[in-house]
């Protein structure tokens, strides 16, 4: 959570943020708290340093790299030479789908280059995000409603639901790869001969189905946690007042579960925006299933600096989506948990 902004919350209490909060408690305690703040800083320092090394440094170096040219070939020796500064050229190349021309300068990227796939990869990424998250929300909600009831073997069901989520994505992807093979179970079961991984829409749906199968349990559990925060008395009172099941769902369940639901949707959306291993293994990115993350990995094999620019663009896209969620849709991870806490009291 606080990884990115690590230094800010830590410094705040030390420099007096906390004492103000506890102000009314008396002068004597102020010093104590101040020293506690210092103490906290010291205790947190190793973590902050570790995070800075493994997270902040790579991000900064990726951004620095994204302004460098990729290595070119010296025609005389056949050896690579360092590219030098590129300004914003890498970014422009991606967004305008420009590739280097053999004669110098740039041309529109010919089909078959990674550069020509930027916008289609962006569209594919958003398609997967919207469709999978929509399915997962509806199915997850339904599963959570079932799990929230009391019935025999409920703990068994809850544990069983977690299985798809517990399997590593790469394994899931391989599993569905075999299911969707031409001679695979999917075609045998429905007596069809669909080329699941060989044509555009079946390939896209194959990815959607596998992803929904895998991550709906995650959604269901987050929503279940939200559902269980709703006190049973509210429902009882509504029942006494004669509210129908639909009214109870619309007027009680939905508004009260909304904070948990929004957080769940936010998490899944951000996750889906960087989807990589599932389509990579299932379809190899063929038939318009190349997501931005797949494009980044493919580009890394061809040139690091252009890949750094692309990953920065992806980062910005994810950031913007998160921003919209938090600012306009009320998916406020920290504050909402405080609000529900108040509600419970």
Partner 1 sequence: MKTPKFLLPVATAGVLALTLSACGGGGGGTTGGGGGAGGGDAANNLDGRGPITYVQGKDNSNVVRPLIEKWNAAHPNEKVTFKEQTDQADQQHDDIVQHFQAKDASYDVVDVDVVWTAEFAAKGWLQPLKDKMAFDTSAMLKPTVDSATYKGTLYAAPQTSDGALLYYRKDLVPTAPKTWDEMMGMCSIAKENKIGCYGGQFSKYEGLTVNASEAINSAGGSVLDADGKPSLNTDQAKAGLENLAKAYADGNIPKEGITFQEEQSRQAFQDGKLLFLRNWPYVYNLATTEGSSKVKDKLGIAPIPGKDGPGASSLGGHSLAVSVYSKNKATALDFLKFMTSEETEKFYATQGSLAPVLGSLYTDATLVKKLPYLPVLKTSIENAVPRPVTPFYPAVTKAIQENAYSAIKGEKPVDTALSDMQKSIESAGAGS
Q: In degrees rounded to 5, what are phi and psi of residue 55?
A: -120, -55
Q: How far apart are CA 55 and CA 116, in angstroms?
A: 30
- In the complex, least distance from residue 344 CB atom to partner 1, rounded to whole angstroms: 19
Indicate whether 65 belongs to the interface with partner 1 (CB under 8 A): yes
Q: How far apart are CA 37 and CA 34, in angstroms?
A: 5
Contact 66, 305 (CB under 8 A): yes
**How far, CA to CA in Å, does 261 sit from each of 152, 218, 224, 305?**
26, 12, 9, 38
Among 71, 175, 238, 243, binds partner 1 (CB under 8 A): 71
Among 159, 195, 251, 254, binds partner 1 (CB under 8 A): 195
Q: Where are the alpha helices (DSSP H) in 15-75?
A: 17-21, 27-51, 57-65
Start-to-end C-alpha separation, the chain? 26
Indicate whether 61 belongs to the interface with partner 1 (CB under 8 A): yes
Structure tokens at 107: 């041309």
Indicate whether 329 belongs to the interface with partner 1 (CB under 8 A): no
Task: Give the footprint of partner 1 on residues 238-277 (CB under 8 A).
Answer: 266-267, 270-271, 273-274
Q: Which stretch binds partner 1 (CB under 8 A): 119-127, 129-137, 230-238, 325-333?
A: 325-333
Q: How far apart are CA 279 and CA 126, in angstroms?
A: 14
- In the complex, least distance from residue 47 CB atom to partner 1, rounded to whole angstroms: 13
Among 33, 52, 157, 181, binds partner 1 (CB under 8 A): 181
Q: How far apart are CA 249 and CA 266, in angstroms?
A: 22
Q: How far apart are CA 137 and CA 6, in angstroms?
A: 31
Q: How far apart are CA 270 and CA 170, in angstroms?
A: 19
- In the complex, least distance from residue 130 CB atom to partner 1, rounded to whole angstroms: 17
SS3 call for 107: strand
Q: Which stretch binds partner 1 (CB under 8 A): 31-39, 106-114, 125-133, 240-248?
A: 106-114
Q: In degrees rounded to 5, what are phi and psi of residue 288?
A: 60, 40
- In the complex, least distance from residue 261 CB atom to partner 1, rounded to whole angstroms: 16
SS3 call for 68: strand
- In the complex, least distance from residue 22 CB atom to partner 1, rounded to whole angstroms: 13
- In the complex, least distance from residue 284 CB atom to partner 1, rounded to whole angstroms: 5
Among 90, 124, 141, 237, binds partner 1 (CB under 8 A): 90
Indicate whether 171 belongs to the interface with partner 1 (CB under 8 A): no
- In the complex, least distance from residue 93 CB atom to partner 1, rounded to whole angstroms: 7
* Cβ proximity to partner 1, 109 vs 219, nearer residue: 109
Among 39, 80, 119, 142, binds partner 1 (CB under 8 A): 80
* Cβ proximity to partner 1, 28 vs 112, nearer residue: 112
């Amino acid at each position: 959570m606080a990884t990115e902004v690590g230094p800010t919350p830590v410094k705040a209490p030390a420099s007096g943020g906390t004492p103000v909060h506890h102000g009314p408690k008396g002068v004597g305690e102020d010093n104590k708290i101040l020293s506690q703040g210092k103490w906290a800083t010291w205790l947190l320092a190793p973590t902050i340093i570790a995070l800075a090394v493994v997270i902040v440094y790579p991000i900064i170096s990726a951004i620095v790299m994204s302004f460098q040219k990729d290595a070119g070939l010296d025609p005389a020796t056949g050896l690579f030479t360092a590219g030098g500064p590129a300004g914003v050229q890498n970014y422009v190349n991606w967004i305008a789908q420009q590739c280097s021309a053999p004669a110098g300068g740039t041309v529109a990227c010919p089909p078959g280059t990674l550069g020509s796939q930027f916008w289609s990869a962006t569209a594919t990424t958003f398609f997967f995000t919207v469709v999978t998250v929509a399915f997962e929300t509806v199915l997850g909600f339904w599963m959570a409603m079932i799990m929230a009831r009391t019935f025999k073997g409920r703990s068994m069901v809850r544990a069983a639901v977690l299985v798809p989520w517990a399997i590593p994505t790469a394994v899931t992807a391989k599993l569905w790869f075999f299911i969707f093979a031409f001679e695979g179970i999917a075609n045998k079961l429905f007596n069809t001969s669909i080329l699941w991984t060989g044509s555009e829409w079946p390939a896209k749906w194959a990815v959607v189905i596998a992803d929904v199968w895998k991550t709906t349990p995650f959604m269901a559990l987050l929503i279940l946690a939200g559902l269980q925060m709703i006190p049973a008395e509210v429902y009882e009172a509504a029942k006494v007042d004669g509210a129908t099941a639909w009214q109870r769902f619309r007027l009680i369940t939905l508004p009260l579960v909304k904070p948990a639901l929004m957080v769940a949707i936010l998490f899944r959306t951000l996750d889906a925006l960087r989807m990589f291993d599932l389509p990579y293994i299932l379809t190899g990115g063929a038939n318009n299933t190349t997501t931005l993350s797949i494009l980044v990995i493919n580009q890394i094999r061809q040139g690091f600096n252009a890949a750094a620019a692309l990953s920065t663009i992806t980062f910005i896209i994810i950031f913007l989506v998160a921003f919209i969620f938090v600012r306009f849709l009320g998916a406020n991870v920290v504050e909402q948990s405080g609000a529900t806490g108040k509600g419970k009291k």
